[in-house]
Structure 1
Amino acid sequence: MTDDAPSLRTPAWLQGTGATRTWRCPPAPADVRAFHAALSGYAPTPLTELPELAVELRVGRVFVKDESDRLGLPAFKALGASWAIHRVLAERARGGGQPGPVTLVTATDGNHGRAVARMARLLGRSAHVFVPRGVHPEAAAAIVAEGARVTEVAGSYDEAVDRAAAAAAEPNAVLVQDTAWPGYEEIPGWIVEGYSTLCAEIDEQLATAGVTGGPGLVAVPAGVGSLTQAVITHYRSRPSGRAPALLTVEPEAAACVLESLTVGKPVSVRTGESTMAGLNCGTPSSIAWPFLQNGLDAAVAVRDADSARAAARLAGLGVDSGPCGAAALAGARVMFTGADAEGRRTALGLDASSVVVLLSTEGTAANPHSPAGQEPALRTKAP
């Protein structure tokens, strides 16, 4: 254990029945990976083994899925945006939409909006992106640089989503949002399907590294839960074989998944400010919730300071990770070191031989709060 390892300040949620390992769901479409492989610039992102972290977490092996350069963007979001926009435009070409040019509309804390704007530019389409209060000006500028119109909202991420949905009601506009609610679920479902490519790559890379049977634990940063839904779908759609434990990690300032799991139903939370801007979401996606409730093993919330230390630790080990990406390591540290860690390890079936995969969902270039190779200045949160 390192001297800067965090303690468990926020109660963790643990599924104690073991039913998550036997819960099953349909798999993602098989053609998603082929679609991404045909895109210009596609290559699997690295899966980097870090023995130093295996020692710290007292497990057999630790791998980090490094999403700091995905299809030319510094985060994984291009996978979901590209597949969903492909499906949207294909449906319109088959007569499902009005004729004429289409504007792609979305709300974002940064990475998803930039991915939608990039795909719109490459396809010769317009994009209109709504950003909430607290998004760094450099993140908004990066979206503008893709040719998109950006509207700043003097409110939370949830309020930005509401504004985007209203704008998408205009003729020849389509909402491409990575969260779902009743009545708007098809396109968010396509976005989740797009993330399945990341999981398929991990399978292949672990096999190349000599890991048989898959990981023992996968830790996933969570905003509204869409990436977590994709990971759950991947591992809970297999008819047989060892099922890994799945852990989701959120900021303390926006722990909507943890709170929902704790009370047993989806709830909204009031969000605060966080350097983990891409995870600063107050309401779980409606289509993600059944997967979170039935297929997730554990959830934990971490402080900005925890993710900053984790990002600095990863930088020292040669992995470029922003605050959101480093949340996976921060959550693993909180759960599996310190007081009562043994009980949590036992509950999740981890031992000294376990293989852990941490999803680092963004690089430092995706988040201006985190200068490359440096630990960001930390703000003290009010109690």
Structure 2
Amino acid sequence: MTSTETTTSSWTANDRDPAWTCPAPAPEALEFHRQLDGYAPTALVELPALAEELGVAAVFAKDESTRLGLPAFKALGASWAVHCALEAVGNGTEHAAGDEDGRAASGEVVTATDGNHGRAVAAFARRAGRNARIFVPAGAVHPNAIVAIRDEGAEVAEVAGSYDEVVAAAAEYADGSDGVLVQDTAWDGYEEVPGWIVEGYSTLFREVDEQLQDAGHRGADLVLVPTGVGSLLQAAIAHYRSETSTGSTAVVSVEPENAACVGPSLDAGQPISVETGQTIMAGLNCGTPSSLAWPFIRDGLDAAATVSEQDTIDAAHRLAELGVTAGPCGAAALAGARAVLLGDGAPSRRRHLGLTEDSTLVLTITEGSEANPVPSA
């Protein structure tokens, strides 16, 4: 990983090899989710008004605001990863912080979060009868999100510093206490648990395929994915670049302007860490790509886009007018679509993505506004 950099770029095209494929995500996570109390596919909402505004045939919003009783897609990854991690500990096959030394772990489940991931881990730890300790960056997470995590019965530990520093603190604590670390970003020596989280997220895109087919559409031509460390993005790429996929779906990451590491990493040809600042898109305020996600980003992503705070606020209010209640991270998908498909340079961006007036777009609305309200326009 190179030294810290910053970026102001709003669009980074990636000339991926169209022949590149990867193994299809394992089906076990979807089967597990279908057995959970309260499971149902989240809504895929068609938005004709946005299709007209963006100059395409159809726009759908995959609304994750009611996923398994929680307000974000994170429930998919957390539920599967907590299940797998506790099962592994019970079998004595993996130490919680990633050392495969067979040491018994305590009952406490540990993670770092910008909000939704921590709440989801706490919720599924509670369902499994375990305590949870959730590390958060002090002052960077909305108070509503902190309350929601505590309401799941978890201890909240606020740490001064960036998200990356909070992740390090959580890992150190888990290692020292034999806690079960369930983190959604990977680094050398810690990749199995983040891999389970990515597998969990694959359920979302399997649902999208089935719902588009039911709606009479052949599939998505472009999927926009709000991106933090890149685990959801990895799941999207793994789904749309799998050996069983046509490979024709374009995938674009969307990040806040002041926490955008994907574009610089593509430019550098290796993962880049960027200095992050404050953003209303708290769940995307991550300065380093997951080591597990990076090869998929490098080889399978079509482009990276960044969005401003105001563009995201405007997008959230537009979605609300259309009946989709999105938090800032979720609204980033629409802000990204506008940045890519409208304005100066849009024709060349559309050509790069293979889009026409007959294309179908999917906006991944990753969170509702319950724990992270949108400021007034």
TM-score, length of structure 1 as denominator length: 0.92
My pick for the range that moved more, 313-322 or 127-136, is: 127-136
Query: What stretches of structure 1 move > 6 A for 4+ residues in a row?
Result: none
Whole-Å separation in 2 of the counterparts to 1:104 and 1:242: 37
Q: Is residue 47 of structure 1 aligned with residue 49 of structure 2? A: no
Aligned to 2:5: none
CA drift at 1:137: 1.9
Any residues of structure 2 matched to 1:68-87 within 5 Å, and which? 68-87=65-84
Q: Which amino acid aligns with 2:233?
A: T
Whole-Å separation in 2 of the counterparts to 1:175 and 1:101: 11
Q: Identify which of 222, 238, 242 aligns with 1:237.
A: 242
CA drift at 1:100: 7.0
Q: Which runs of 5+ in 1 are unaligned?
A: 1-8, 371-375, 379-383
Q: Is the 8 A contact 2:79 2:121 kept in 1?
A: yes
Q: Is the 8 A contact 2:113 2:135 kept in 1?
A: yes
Whole-Å separation in 2 of the counterparts to 1:73 and 1:239: 31
Aligned to 1:169: 175
Q: Identify which of 364, 368, 377 aligns with 1:363.
A: 368
Whole-Å separation in 2 of the counterparts to 1:89 and 1:273: 34
Q: Is the 8 A contact 2:10 2:257 kept in 1?
A: no
Q: Is residue 184 of structure 1 aligned with residue 183 of structure 2? A: no
Whole-Å separation in 1 of the counterparts to 2:299 and 2:207: 24
CA drift at 1:239: 3.6
* Count of residues in correspondence between the two structures: 361
Deviations 1:48-89 (A, max 9, x none): 000111111101111010000000000000100110111111
Q: Is the 8 A contact 2:122 2:149 kept in 1?
A: yes
CA drift at 1:31: 1.3
Q: Is the 8 A contact 1:22 1:236 kept in 2?
A: no
Classify the secondary structure of the residue corresponding to 1:95: coil
Q: Identify which of 276, 280, 287 aligns with 1:282.
A: 287
Whole-Å separation in 1 of the counterparts to 2:263 and 2:302: 11
Q: Which runs of 5+ in 2 are unaligned?
A: 1-7, 94-101
My pick for the range that moved more, 254-263 or 243-252, is: 254-263
Q: Identify which of 323, 335, 349 aligns with 1:318.
A: 323
Q: Is residue 226 of structure 1 aligned with residue 225 of structure 2? A: no
Q: Is the 8 A contact 2:24 2:244 kept in 1?
A: no
Identity over the aligned pairs, expressed in percent? 59
Distance 1:314 1:224, change over 3 A: same
Whole-Å separation in 2 of the counterparts to 1:188 and 1:102: 19
Classify the secondary structure of the residue corresponding to 1:356: strand
CA drift at 1:10: 3.2
Classify the secondary structure of the residue corresponding to 1:75: coil
CA drift at 1:258: 1.6
Aligned to 1:14: 13
TM-score, length of structure 2 as denominator length: 0.93
My pick for the range that moved more, 30-39 or 132-141, is: 132-141
Calculate the aligned-residue CA RMSD, in Å.
1.3
Whole-Å separation in 1 of the counterparts to 2:110 and 2:26: 25
Classify the secondary structure of the residue corresponding to 2:361: strand
Q: Which amino acid aligns with 2:329?
A: C
Q: Is the 8 A contact 1:223 1:280 kept in 2?
A: yes
Q: Is the 8 A contact 2:222 2:250 kept in 1?
A: yes
CA drift at 1:242: 5.0
Q: Which amino acid aligns with 1:205?
A: Q
Deviations 1:216-259 (A, max 9, x none): 10000000000000000001113453521110000001001122
Whole-Å separation in 2 of the counterparts to 1:330 and 1:240: 27
